[in-house]
Structure 1
Amino acid sequence: MAEHTGPTRLGGLLAEHATRARHEPSATAPLVAPAPAPSGPPSTAPAPAPAPAGAGAADVAVAAELPGVLPVPWEEITGLRQQVADDVDQLKRERRQAGTPLSDRDLEEVVRARVRSRVAKWAGQWSLTHKPLTADELERLRGEVFNLMFLAGALQRVLDRPGVEDVVIDGDQMWIDSHGKPREITRSPFKERAQAIEWVNQMAAASGHGERLLSYATAKVEFDLPDGARVAATLLTENLTIAIRRHRLERATLHDLMQWGSVDWLTGGFLSAAVKAGLSIIVAGDMATGKTTLMRALGREVPKSERLATLESEPELRLNHDDPGQHAHVLAFRTRESNGENGAGEVTLADLVPISLRYKATRVMVGEVRGSEAVAMLEAMIAGGAGSMCTLHSKDPESVVDRLMVPLARAGLSDQAAYRLIASAVDLIVYVDAIDETSMGGQVHRFVSHIWETAGRSEGGGVALGQLFGPRVGDPRARPTRTPVSERRMHKLERKGFQRRWLVEHPDGGWPALELKGASA
């Protein structure tokens, strides 16, 4: 194929998919959500948004109705897709040469027209030696060819179901995790291993990663689908394994998160003011507690006058996909794997920190700190990147600092040097937690449980922490403690609209009732 028709906007098609994901309600509230620093406490706390409708047996049947059950070999479908792609490439070249290039709005209609034409011609030939396809089967075939061009092909119907967050295909089985719902298991949409590998390579090529296709020489590959879903595929497992992760809360703001019950107005307003005031923040939590969702929301609080650099190995923050002018200018940096055995061409997160600052980024956000980038990140917080943020995996609130010490020690810092660096660079540590009750018919409750302020070195030589917000007996969500915020930081918060008297006048904050099916935490 001459020129690839990579993932473009297709008129309103992909925007429609993004909008659907953006506005889909969610019961498992992500993490935190403040409205911009409130002018005063609201009279009542907002109620959590309703959960998306559940998927029943009928939905599982729909998930199974994929190309594998069409009376058409997969090779015929991919062959049609190739013919359509060649037709569209030829037309695009002709239009460019004539000085009238195809617009995004026109491209979708062109593709649909070519799909109809090619399928009609193919169907006539097919019927000479096979049973003719019904009208419904022809419509599904046209849909599959179109999906292979611009969406996720065989898996698009699964990904379009309400609330789907994670899909894992392991051999001939498929696991579907939906927001706040029990896991479903059904068969893979691919009839055989070769078909699944071909799907992976077609989607990788469409994403711009065609130079790294899945094979025994390259046993793993990662790429994005056009709607932003992240795909990882590998041949390193006994069966071919494909994992797809959907970011269904990609567009969430702090205000959204507050409405979903992940934070109350008080904690939300505090975090909003902290970001605007340029405090450096670490967001910590266990797996699937919503760290990235909170980071995205915090990133949207950075003032428009600033420039924010996001540094990631996998694009999850995606703040650069927001409409320009909504918040700070975002430069999205990504790591790069080496292109040879000697590591040539490799760019790590640690490399990206100083690179991003050369582009006059006033703040840096690291998707997740795991290794040597921890030193570079903390040094950037001290050397001009005030207000920078990162996430950190920590299985419990009490181990956040110890967890951060691990990559610092691997980078060669002594304990004393590491503690000194943390105490100097970090202003706040925010811990997010979750209670998963899906196994008993409930939902996942995600919330901020702790906020600490760093207070220099402790008497024992570590990092002194002042707990500003913490849980209460019977309720694990963060409420103000009697620990005062340092005057220097409080003055910064007050300049951004937060009022210290709220911490005293509203000791219980404004959390909605936490309805748990099991015993209270």
Structure 2
Amino acid sequence: MLGFFKRGKKREEPRESEADIYREIVSEAAKAYRAVKRGFRPPPGFREVESYHLYEPWARARILQNPETGETLYWIDEIPMSAMERNIYSRIMDILYWELRPPPMGVDPTEYFRREARRIVIRYRLRLGRTPGVSWAKILYYVERDTIGFGPIDPLMRDPNIEDISCDGVGRRIYVWHRRYEYIPTNLVFNSEEELDALIVKLVHMAGKHVSVAFPIVDAILPGGHRLAVTYRKEVSTSGSTFTIRKFREDPITIVDMIRWGTVSPEVAAYLWMLIEHKMTGLVIGVTGAGKTSTLNALATLLRPTLKVVTIEDTPELRLPLENWVQLVSRPSYGIGIEKIGEVTLYDLIKVSLRYRPDIIIVGEVRGEEAYVLFQ
């Protein structure tokens, strides 16, 4: 007896959707948080005195001290990628380089690039299928860090305790000014000129400026209000590219803070308030890093909200809690050599500001001919 058997269709594995993969990536991040590196060992001679998260669970700050020498070290502790993860990361960055397009008008660039980076990571994960031993959440962290973030210094930019980040050239440790430990070195070093130059170009572009061997000095404001000063390659610095970032404090210093810290007494604060109320002329003088801008911001909180205030700066640093406030910023020339086409100086802005009928004029820095106005 012959039997006829119907051949059944081969059972197909259920396909993963992009939503499934994104949930998997989020789940990986949660697992990484629970199992975040507990076996950290400080360098020989150092002991850990403090640690805190910068970006859970991927980056952590560890403050190390050497009891014998008294040296303090700021250690950036990021979860490292494996060799396979680094390979996948490199391929995804190449895809981003070729496929990423400028954001549409009216769309927040940061959110746009974050969304596109996640889309490409998920698509690449779909194409590869299951990859045991590979953390896609970790890869996504590094992709976002190096595209919409600040690259290798992103953990430092996330630390609210850091006020200043300084890179003095290739092969030199990056220093930070910590609120509790002041200037201390980190474990972050740029060992190649290409790597440091690439970061310099990235930071300058994030600030909306241009840097090149023809224009090797740039002073700009990064997203978030952080002040950036760079020199490019060895045009003006013998050690190669350098940069300094003075971070903008998210919670501005007020006159109450200055009284609590003992910077000024209540009597001096009251006296300054009286001078401001009567629109007296004043100067805030101090060495670099003394807190001149912070003091100006604190004094500005004493201004009556209804006053018309005009601020004039080379780089916009002042953040006034006022509505009736005009912020004017100087502009360098577009010419080369002795030609100065389109330059707008602080003195030009001071003359313009007088036509605004201001109650108060605040000049960020007085270094040139704009100082003549003070003595007229």
TM-score by length of 1: 0.51
Which of 152, 166, 172 aligns to 1:154? It is 152
Equivalent residue, structure 1, for 2:331: 336
SS in 1 for 2:143: helix
**How far, CA to CA, are the matches of 1:68 and 1:333 in structure 2?**
49
**How far, CA to CA, are the matches of 1:354 and 1:62 in structure 2?**
48
Equivalent residue, structure 1, for 2:118: 116
**How far, CA to CA, are the matches of 2:213 and 2:318 in structure 1?**
31
Structure 1 counterpart of 2:208, which letter?
G
**How far, CA to CA, are the matches of 2:174 and 2:112 in structure 1?**
34
Q: Would the alpha carbon gap of residues 189 and 160 (structure 1) be closer, same or farther in structure 2, given more than 3 Å must change?
A: farther
Equivalent residue, structure 2, for 1:184: 184
Shift of 1:126: 8.3
- C-alpha contact (below 8 Å) 1:163/1:248 kept by paired residues: no
Which of 161, 164, 177 aligns to 1:163? It is 161
Shift of 1:81: 4.9
Percent identical = 23
The answer as to 2:75 corresponding to 1:61 is yes
Shift of 1:124: 6.8
Shift of 1:359: 2.3
SS in 2 for 1:332: strand
Cα deviation, 1:482-514, whole Å, max 9, x if unaligned, reads xxxxxxxxxxxxxxxxxxxxxxxxxxxxxxxxx
**How far, CA to CA, are the matches of 1:71 and 1:155 in structure 2?**
18
Structure 1: unaligned runs, 5 residues or longer: 1-51, 94-100, 380-521
Shift of 1:186: 3.0
Cα deviation, 1:272-316, whole Å, max 9, x if unaligned, reads 222122111111223322221111111222222222111111222
Q: Would the alpha carbon gap of residues 365 and 197 (structure 1) be closer, same or farther in structure 2, given more than 3 Å must change?
A: same
Structure 2: unaligned runs, 5 residues or longer: 1-50, 53-60, 66-72
Equivalent residue, structure 1, for 2:263: 262
Equivalent residue, structure 1, for 2:216: 219
Equivalent residue, structure 2, for 1:141: 139
Shift of 1:120: 3.2
**How far, CA to CA, are the matches of 2:89 and 2:213 in structure 1?**
22
> Which aligned pairs between 1:385-404 and structure 2 lie closer than 5 A?
none
Equivalent residue, structure 2, for 1:71: 86
Shift of 1:164: 0.6
**How far, CA to CA, are the matches of 1:219 and 1:76 in structure 2?**
32
Equivalent residue, structure 2, for 1:373: 370
Shift of 1:134: 2.6
Structure 2 counterpart of 1:119, which letter?
V
Q: Greater relative contact order (Cα 8 A, min sep 6): structure 1 or 2?
A: 1
The RMSD of aligned alpha carbons is 3.5
Structure 1 counterpart of 2:364, which letter?
G
Cα deviation, 1:36-70, whole Å, max 9, x if unaligned, reads xxxxxxxxxxxxxxxx9895139843257689997
Shift of 1:230: 1.2
Shift of 1:80: 5.2
Cα deviation, 1:179-231, whole Å, max 9, x if unaligned, reads 2314322344645322322222233223322xx23x22221223222111111
Equivalent residue, structure 2, for 1:25: none
- C-alpha contact (below 8 Å) 1:311/1:367 kept by paired residues: yes
TM-score by length of 2: 0.69
**How far, CA to CA, are the matches of 1:226 and 1:163 in structure 2?**
18
SS in 1 for 2:218: strand
Structure 1 counterpart of 2:181, which letter?
K
**How far, CA to CA, are the matches of 2:90 and 2:219 in structure 1?**
24
Q: Would the alpha carbon gap of residues 184 and 76 (structure 1) be closer, same or farther in structure 2, given more than 3 Å must change?
A: farther
The answer as to 2:297 corresponding to 1:296 is yes
- C-alpha contact (below 8 Å) 1:64/1:186 kept by paired residues: no
Cα deviation, 1:225-281, whole Å, max 9, x if unaligned, reads 211111112132122112111133762221222223222222112212221221111
SS in 2 for 1:62: strand
**How far, CA to CA, are the matches of 1:119 and 1:263 in structure 2?**
53
Cα deviation, 1:109-146, whole Å, max 9, x if unaligned, reads 65444322212334577899xx98731xx334322333
Q: Which has the larger radius of gyration?
A: 2
**How far, CA to CA, are the matches of 1:68 and 1:372 in structure 2?**
57
Cα deviation, 1:414-454, whole Å, max 9, x if unaligned, reads xxxxxxxxxxxxxxxxxxxxxxxxxxxxxxxxxxxxxxxxx
Structure 2 counterpart of 1:241, which letter?
T
**How far, CA to CA, are the matches of 2:129 and 2:141 in structure 1?**
19
Structure 2 counterpart of 1:206, which letter?
M
**How far, CA to CA, are the matches of 1:313 and 1:74 in structure 2?**
39
Structure 2 counterpart of 1:160, which letter?
R
Shift of 1:74: 8.7
**How far, CA to CA, are the matches of 1:65 and 1:149 in structure 2?**
18
Shift of 1:108: 6.4
- C-alpha contact (below 8 Å) 1:144/1:154 kept by paired residues: no
Q: Would the alpha carbon gap of residues 299 and 291 (structure 1) be closer, same or farther in structure 2, given more than 3 Å must change?
A: same
Cα deviation, 1:434-477, whole Å, max 9, x if unaligned, reads xxxxxxxxxxxxxxxxxxxxxxxxxxxxxxxxxxxxxxxxxxxx
